[in-house]
Amino acid sequence: MAGGDRSAFREIFILFYPKVRTFVSRLIPDSDEAKDVAQSILIRIWLNRERFTEVKNFDAYIFTLSKHTVLNHLDKARRKQDRQEDGTDEIYDLALPSDKLEMLDMKRRIDNAVEEMPPQRKQVFTMSRILGMKNGEIADRLNLSKKTVENHINLALKEIRKKFPVLFLLIFIGAQEILIVFKI
- DSSP secondary structure string for all residues of 57-110: -HHHHHHHHHHHHHHHHHHHHHHHHHHHHHTHHHHHHHS-HHHHHHHHHHHHHH
* One-letter amino acid of 23: F
Span 90-136, pLDDT tens digits:
555 555 566 666 666 777 777 888 889 999 999 998 888 777 889 99
Q: What is the pLDDT of residue 12?
A: 87
- Please report, for the chain, the start and end positions of each structural domain, with discontinuous segments joined by +: 6-84, 88-182
Euclidean distance between CA atoms 44 and 73, whole angstroms = 14
* 88-182: CATH number: 1.10.10.10
pTM of the model: 0.45
Nearest to 27 by CA among 38, 18, 16, 17: 38
Question: Top-level CATH class of 6-84?
Answer: mainly alpha
Percent of the chain residues topping a pLDDT of 70: 77
Alpha carbon of residue 25 to chain centroid: 20
CB 79 within 8 A of CB 182: no
Greater pLDDT, 53 or 105 = 53
